[in-house]
């Protein structure tokens, strides 16, 4: 395919039209203010914000922690399985509009079980939504259960225990929430256990934390993908390893700017990651809070970084399929769809 012959004028169309997988989406982070208020009303939960506008206006974050405080407040309206299903369906509809053909959804059971909402309630709602996404929208999906890293490893073990009756509904486990001060190795034993259970392993590392956290996510937790990982560029030896082993990085550009990991989008290092041979992907992280879903992320990044071309766009979509936890047949079917879109450009 003549990727380098495709002009810049075709980029916006290609970015929107190309099939893609989303591998870094916290489903609780897709909860839009309108839905937060609707669920609050349905469930009789009182919010500390008087209106949708006031809540949205509070989304001016200075770092990861300032975001997490509001994020946990928003999740407080989720009480019944139907609430989780409605939230995930709203995400899947947005994803469909962006030509996302496959999504691996993070969910944070501890955010809910700590409020007295059972693991079963959470997983039942999300599993229903995943089945409906396939039947109604043609989107394939799976669920990745995340441990909150600001909590203890014992609490992670307790959550894993609660998840066991639903093992077949979970494709893997991840590690999220406040990164600084909570290195991956804090969860070495629970990840080893998950590995024994045959779960796929991923972890957030190198977003606000140093490259050392990426090393320990790989070597101690033995993860298959790094979520974020943008600070890896500070360590050339790590960069070589990530490129050599094709370790996928699930990069979230709008999130990075909103949480001040980069001051502006024009300073983002996505082009560097790709040009150094890393299997970087683009994702939305917490789209309701960070200003956009998948295509918003693609367009904002390509608009701000003139060095990104159609070749990079193709590579990002291809990487998303390569990095996904699906079988080879599904990957090659999506790859063929991707080739078609670019061949028609
Ligand atoms: Zn994340």
Can you list the domains of the chain with their CATH numbers? 3-34+79-343 (3.20.20.140)
Distance CA 194, CA 131 (A): 24
Task: Give the pLDDT band (50/70/90) at residue 308.
Answer: very high
Six-digit token pair at 215? Answer: 């090393």
How large a percentage of the chain has pLDDT more than 90? Answer: 90
Q: Cβ atoms within 10 A of the Cβ of 296, count?
A: 17
Interval between CA 319 and ligand 1 midpoint (Å): 18
Give 231-279 pLDDT, tens digit per residue: 999 999 999 999 999 999 999 999 999 999 999 999 999 999 999 999 9
Sign of CA dihedral 292, 298, 303, 305: positive
How far away, in angstroms, is 174 Cα from ligand 1 center?
10
pLDDT for 262: 97
Is it the case that residue 1 has pLDDT exceeding 80?
no
63, pLDDT greater than 90: no
More confident residue, 101 or 55: 101
Q: How far is the CA of 27 from the centre of ligand 1 (A)?
A: 10
Strand 172-176 and strand 140-148: pairing?
A: parallel
Contact partners, residue 253, CB within 8 Å, separation at least 6: 265, 268, 270, 282, 297, 300, 301
pLDDT at 120 over 90: yes
Residue 286 among known ligand-binding residues: yes
What rounded mean pLDDT belongs to the chain? 96
Q: How far is the CA of 178 from the centre of ligand 1 (A)?
A: 10
Cα angle, residue 166 at apex, residues 175 and 127 outer, rounded to 5°: 85
What residues does the ion ligand 1 have nearby, CB within 5 Å? Answer: 285
List of E strands, the chain: 20-26, 100-107, 140-148, 172-176, 200-205, 225-228, 248-251, 279-282
- Is 235 annotated in some ligand binding site? no
How far does residue 176's CA lie from ligand 1's centre (Å)?
6
Whole-number pLDDT of residue 66: 81
Residue 182 among known ligand-binding residues: no
Task: Provide the edge-to-edge strand list for the sheet that holds 20-26.
Answer: 20-26, 100-107, 140-148, 172-176, 200-205, 225-228, 248-251, 279-282
User: Does residue 69 carry a pLDDT above 90?
Assistant: no
pLDDT at res. 64: 82
Please, are residues 323 and 22 in contact by the beta-carbon 8 Å criterion? no
Catalytic residue set: 207
Which pLDDT value is given to residue 115?
92
* pLDDT score recorded for residue 57: 87
Which uninterrupted H or E stretch holds 40?
Answer: helix 33-43
CA distance 273 to 251: 10
pLDDT of residue 30: 95
Question: 24: annotated binding-site residue?
Answer: yes
285 is in an annotated binding site: yes
User: What is the whole-number distance in angstroms between the Cα of residue 13 and the centre of ligand 1?
Assistant: 27
Tell me what percent of the residues of the chain surpass a pLDDT of 70.
100
Q: Which residues contact 130 (CB under 8 A, 6 or more apart)?
A: 88, 105, 141, 142, 143
Q: Are 209 and 231 in contact (CB under 8 A)?
A: yes
Q: What is the pLDDT of residues 170-209, one digit of tens each?
A: 999 999 998 889 999 999 999 999 999 999 999 999 999 9
End-to-end Cα, the chain, rounded Å:
11
**pLDDT value at residue 150:** 94
């Amino acid at each position: 395919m003549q990727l380098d012959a495709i002009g810049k004028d075709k980029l916006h169309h290609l970015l929107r039209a190309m099939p893609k997988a989303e591998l870094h989406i916290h489903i609780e982070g897709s909860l839009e203010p309108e839905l937060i208020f609707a669920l609050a009303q349905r469930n009789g939960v009182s919010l500390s914000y008087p209106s949708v506008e006031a809540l949205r206006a509070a989304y001016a974050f200075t770092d990861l922690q300032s975001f997490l405080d509001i994020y946990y407040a928003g999740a407080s309206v989720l009480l019944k399985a139907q609430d989780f299903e409605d939230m995930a369906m709203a995400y899947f509809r947005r994803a469909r509009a962006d030509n996302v053909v496959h999504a691996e959804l993070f969910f944070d059971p501890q955010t809910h079980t700590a409020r007295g909402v059972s693991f079963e309630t959470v997983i039942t709602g999300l599993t229903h939504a995943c089945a409906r996404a396939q039947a109604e929208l043609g989107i394939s999906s799976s669920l990745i259960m995340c441990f909150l890293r600001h909590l203890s490893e014992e609490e992670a073990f307790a959550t894993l225990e609660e998840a066991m009756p639903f093992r077949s509904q979970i494709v893997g486990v991840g590690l999220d929430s406040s990164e600084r001060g909570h290195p991956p190795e804090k969860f070495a034993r629970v990840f080893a256990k998950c590995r024994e259970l045959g779960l796929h392993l991923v972890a957030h590392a190198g977003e606000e934390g140093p490259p050392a956290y990426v090393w320990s996510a790989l070597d101690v937790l033995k993860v298959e993908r790094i979520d974020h990982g943008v600070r890896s560029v500070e360590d050339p030896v790590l960069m070589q390893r990530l490129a050599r082993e094709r370790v996928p990085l699930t990069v979230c550009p709008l999130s990075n700017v909103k949480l001040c990991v980069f001051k502006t989008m024009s300073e983002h290092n996505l082009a560097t990651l790709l040009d150094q041979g890393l299997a970087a992907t683009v994702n939305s992280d917490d789209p309701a809070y960070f200003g956009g879903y998948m295509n918003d992320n693609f367009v904002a990044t390509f608009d701000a970084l003139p060095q990104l071309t159609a070749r990079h766009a193709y590579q990002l979509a291809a990487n998303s399929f390569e990095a996904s936890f699906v079988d080879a047949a599904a990957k090659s079917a999506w790859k063929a769809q991707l080739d078609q879109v670019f061949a028609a450009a």
